Amino acid sequence: MAVRLCGFLLLAVLVRGLHASRPAVNQELSNLFNELWRLDVNRMKPGIDYTISVQGRAGYVNQGSHVVLDHASLPLFSNVNENKLRNITTFSLFMKLLDNYERSTGITERVTPEELTEINLFLDAVLETQVMKRAHQYLVSKGKSSSDSRQFKNQLNLIWFHLYHRQRNTGPDSCGFEHVFVGETKSGTEVIGFHNWVQFFLQEKNSHLDYKGYQGYTARDQDLPDQDDHVLKLQFSWHGVVKPVGSAFIGTSPEFEMAIFTVVFLMNTERSTTVLVNIDQCQMELVVVRKGRCLGTAYPNLLSSNSRHVSQHAH
């Protein structure tokens, strides 16, 4: 009887340790981000504005590998309403920024006056959305941002667009926006960043990107991705370089993604921050890494979709 009791106690300690390793759900930010989710009127609707085909589960691939089995014979995006994208101001201005950067780190970025104008127009449009207005209001209430919209714009510009060194012995070669939304390659052997669905679609459409299958799920996991999911873990190659595991929101507007990652960035001071949140039907970690006063990287790490975490908690 004593041996059985010890076994139960050991199991309880192990289970408690597993739960302790994952942070508790940040309910305040979950509430805020669900409010932003509801305000995101520019979000594209699955099955209506776009269609994806997740296909097979990708296998394990070492970082830097150029050889990978393809578990998806078709593109991820089988259809996207490009006319709608072009007619939504923030999406349209966002897409104009995607060709402003050198793909490889180690090459100094040079920003032209035209590109500066594009950044300004994009930030102005983002600041006009209800999503970013609500995020701004929250940050002001926490003493993290000025109530003056011009100062908040400067703050966003610093976080997302200020150039810095990602690779040593070069001029400024990167910024948060480029890394997160455009993607970069490092030493010709790694894809780093690249966490945006619009860039994924456009690169796939132009045959620069090959989707290899979904990632991050075990063969026994019933919580498999489907065409309605708004967060996916992916494996793909870009200009022949493999990204073993990437992740991105799907269908969301650029203002939504910028808003939630800006809030996480400003609400924390650690170099690397992971916040556990529930947004819509998904439970995910939002990971944000700083480069001084600028954003190093930011991405969602999906843990559960289709409200599966709710039913698990109920049991």
Which residue numbers are catalytic?
179, 195, 243
The CA–CA distances, whole Å, from 280 to 24, 33, 167 equal 17, 9, 37
HSE-up of residue 29 (Cα within 13 Å, Cβ side): 23
**Angle at Cα 253 formed by Cα 266 and Cα 53, nearest 5°?**
125
Dist. CA 57–CA 52, nearest whole Å: 15
Amino acid identity, residue 99? Answer: D
Strand ranges, E, within 156-267: 184-186, 190-192, 209-214, 231-238, 241-249
Backbone phi, psi, residue 40, to 5°: -80, 75
Which two structure tokens, joined as six digits, stand for 247?
């992740």
DSSP symbol at 104: B
Alpha helices in the chain (DSSP H): 2-20, 27-39, 82-87, 89-97, 113-127, 130-141, 149-161, 176-177, 197-205, 254-267, 308-314
CA angle, 195 then 200 then 204, to 5°: 155
